Structure 1
Amino acid sequence: MQEPALGTPARVPEPPAPARPQGTWGSWGPWSSCSSSCGDGVALRSRRCLRSSEEQPCTGDPRQYRLCQLPGCPGGSVPFRAMQCSLYDNRPVLGSSARYRWVPFHGAPNLCDLNCLAEGHNFYYSFGRVLDGTRCSPGSPELCVGGRCLSVGCDGILGSRPDACGHCSHGSCVLVHRLFQGSDPSSGYLGYVNVTKIPAGATHIKVTDRSRNYLALVASDGRYVLNGDRTIAWPGPYEAAGTLLTYSRTPDGTESLEAAGPTREDLQVMVLLQEPNPGIEYQFWLPRGHPQLGRGDSSALRQPQPRGAGSPPPPEPSPRPGGSATEPPPRSPPGPSQDGATAGRCGRCRPPKGRSQRIRHFCQSDFVFHGRILARRVVGRETRYEVEVKTRYRQRFPLVAREYLWVPSTCGCPTLSEGGEYLLMARRHVNHEHTLNRILLQERGYARPWTPREARLVREAAPHCPRPP
């Protein structure tokens, strides 16, 4: 390549032109009348693409067809395709003065052409397309529309298919698509880190990792389905949560987990860190209105804290693939402690009491709600409760139907029993790296058995909170 001569300015390539936005479809018009008065028939509706001269055309079909609900034709009626062929009886064709009577011919390659056989002769002629609503062949459930054979979808629309959730009503599904970029092990942290929770009911699941790290999968009962206990599994099919999961790993380290779903229970996606995390992409579809699709982030920010560490981890269940985790009882060695549970020592549990304590906790809490305890688990030096949120009295941040509630000790203070219902006041805890966003019930936090009286007293506390400036 020759360099430009001295004094001659180099030619700078022009930046690519920005992509033009696409137009927007207008609303659908009314359905037309049916193409037939009995038997098979279709109705049509259309929409316009609303765009300016700078916008690209809309993507999608401007027309939509549906099957008419018509009574059957009377006995002895001429079939629809035969009627169309008969319209050309005794008319000249092929530049000849010969006259023929025409009947349907079903041996031609294009089923939606009006292929008619000259009665008493051994040739057929194509008169163009059949009318919309004509059966593709005798006994076929498909109809011809615009020269194409289309099947009738479960919603009655020709050519439609169920959405990503398997429902007829399109738009009933929502795509969750995110990139997890937390937990850099440069600080010496290596081990299992949570990526996201795939909730029950998810479909078309795909998780992709392009690094030397390893994806792991944990069932709702704590059992590792894949790559647990630092044991790497072979690529292949695995059954999990009522669906078939495909795990693949290429020579360059790229991993993927894919499943059609729907899942019957929650699945926890984790990553076993070996090097800095370049980003783990995950996506799945959920039915519209699913509890995890709250107003806030539906990622795994409130899932259990990272498991494992560069230093020896604290005692914790170590489930293996195919096994189940057993929960050790909380350890409560004797000895007083000023904070109640520091350095592994538990003191006397002193729950807050009285009107002033109730008002103080209510006003200082990010979440005040009535919850039912579904499960309890000791994780490291903390206790994790799975809670069904029943009634919300105060929420400064989105609160979905099921949450994890964390207590920063294993001493069982406050005391929450599985199956019990409580009035809970908790705070939002976000760590410095923004990889955790948890609901934290402090060791001396407000947690009392729920009763109608307790709910009334909590509501009465709300007017006493100072208003924000």
Structure 2
Amino acid sequence: MRSRRCIRFPGEELCWGHTHEYRLCQLPDCPLGAVPFRDLQCALYNGHPVLGTQKTYLWVPFYGAPNQCDLNCLAEGHDFYHSFGRVLDGTPCSQGSPGLCVAGRCLSAGCDGLLGSGAREDRCGRCGGANDSCLFVQRVFRDAGAFAGYWNVTLIPEGARHIRAAHRSRNHLALMRGDGRYVLNGNWAVSPPGTYEAAGTRVVYTRATGREETLSAAGPTSQDLLLQVLLQEPNPGIEFEFWLPQELYSPFQAQAQALGWPLWQPQPREVEPRPPEPPAAPTVILHQTPTPTSDPCPPCPDTRGRAHRLLHYCGSDFVFRARVRGRLRQAQETRYEVRVQLIYKNRSPLRALEYVWAPSRCPCPVLALHREYLLAARRLISPDGTQDRLLLPHAGYARPWSPAEDSRVRLAAQHCPV
């Protein structure tokens, strides 16, 4: 607490504001089973005569009185209460209230620690900020294949705040940690609605009877999370959003692009609109030079690194060594015919000859004919159960086989959750 004294000459106005300012001490929470502060103050009058008689009572807090910062205590076993004056400073105003009683007034602490200041954190986590130090990432995810299984929606990077995802369908949102362990709805099992702990924050998962499903977290996250969808029917669209500090956006963008996860260019809130540009003067085109057509298949993102290998190894249904025997492009998919030579991980039997599907005419990475690769694939079953495929995700794990890569894969298997 600090105080001030108003010094003024005759005829001058009174000083503006309060004479005392209170700051909240960051004390640890009381241990479980401790006597609440208001209960303790009422109990001090147990066995003492009050009301001008020699009769004594046992006193407990009474919360129905008009002034919640008075020490109103109810006589146990009787139908009356008595006010013993003000409660001590720092007493909670009521049960479960964030406000504290100070000098007979109920005050709430702002994010600056001052009681009654009214200061609040902005969406970026800055006390008294104006949402100008972070970016708002928002998108409706409509990409997904036609087969049942897990599909990546977006990377939620470390430091994200005010996270929200929602959709309305028979599909289910799934959340995975950076080490490949699921927080909810993983391994083909639907989790019950509730609150889950992940990445240093609490994730609230709700599922309504009208097929509406939401996922929200206040943040900030202490590690990367991967939002997925467990597809059971065509994806009608998944809305997701979060706030990210500006200094963390570039690393997030680079990592998400390397892993082939979708991005939406964020925009700062309350951006000043640009003035309209004057119309350009008409020009006369004398001749046109044909521009060379660009490569229909853009270059693949860089997918090297231990984190990428560990994520795909732990999150895949199959990891195996195979030789590519053939390649066929069908509509918007590419089908590889491979001969399985060595199996590192499988959740169901693999045949000697298998088809591996890549969901694009421009798969990343491209598998060369007659070369040997280490592949991490997922099993996708169509909703009607008529098709059962091995899927090689875009920018997934497909490395040329070598003794060194073989050792790295075996090492990754030791770090996956059981």
TM-score, length of structure 2 as denominator length: 0.40
TM-score, length of structure 1 as denominator length: 0.37
Tell me which structure has the larger Cα radius of gyration.
1
Bigger RCO (CA 8 Å, 6+ sep): 2
